[in-house]
Amino acid sequence: CRFCATARMGLVRQLTADEILAQFAIAARVARESDAMPPLTNIVFMGMGDAGRNVDHVKAAATSLVDGDKFRMARSKITISTVGPSPEAFAALADADGMLAWSIHAADEDLRRKLVPSSRHPLPELRRGLIDALEARPARRRTLMLAATLIRDVNDSDDDAAKLAEFIGPIVDAAGKCNVDLIPCNPTDHTDFESPSTERVLAYAAKIRELEPRVHVATRLQRGDDESAACGQL
């Protein structure tokens, strides 16, 4: 994604399942030994890299995380996020242990290609791939998260929200339960992108709720931006 500093680092290689699990084990130990930190309760495959491009190792790691003889995490506490590089990537993640999440950012084709220049498939094709993946899962495991990073005067208008609400309708039909996660953009030195105002984010959320009342809309708190360590800044 263009707004993410991490994405500019370039690909060296994919993490193995063991390396992913080691990250979790270290984080859990640090949290356990710290009086200032809460216990580690949720896991999100998101950030550096993309689960849709490292499917086998991500799935293997998630399976170990829910294994009763290993980490004993609940599937409902695991989220596997991807920008959706292809319909096939969604299909490959259909049986993964955890909730699926799609970082969509915009429902306008041209705008999304600008924000996610690695995208090679039209949005309707990606939506169809995601719907097929959801329908391949047991009904109780079709809950989905859709993430949209909101950028001032780029994709944060009421019209942008209306397009997203219309686009996700068929996805909500398949998922049953769908959460829309709105992430105010965290500025970096690599782009001129800015965070939208709180009022604009709330208006965007209100428009989604108005046009697609079946979804739960949440706004993510900005944390770590004072040390350039927030989402998209690392």
Structure tokens at 54: 């490292």
- Please work out, in degrees rounded to the nearest 5, the angle formed at the alpha carbon of residue 26 by the alpha carbons of 20 and 28: 105
- 5-62 tens-digit pLDDT: 777 788 889 999 999 999 999 999 999 999 999 989 999 998 788 999 999 999 999 9
Are the C-beta atoms of residues 172 and 215 closer than 8 Å to each other? yes
Q: Domains along the chain?
A: 6-227 (3.20.20.70)
DSSP 63: H
Are the C-beta atoms of residues 167 and 159 closer than 8 Å to each other? no
Structure tokens at 44: 């999100």
Put simply, whether the predicted model's pTM sits higher than 0.95 gets the answer: no
β pairing state of 99-103 and 144-150: parallel
- 74-104 tens-digit pLDDT: 999 999 999 999 999 999 999 999 999 999 9
Q: Hey, is 200 helix, strand or coil?
A: helix
Closest-CA residue to 1 (of 79, 115, 102): 115
Q: Using CA atoms, how far apart are residues 125 and 233, in angstroms rounded to an integer?
A: 30
* Residue position matching structure tokens 């108005």: 210
Structure tokens at 118: 């690695």
pLDDT at position 232 is 57
- 135-185 tens-digit pLDDT: 999 999 999 999 999 999 999 999 999 999 999 999 999 998 999 999 999
Q: Residue 2 — very low, low, confident or very high, per pLDDT cuts 50/70/90? A: confident
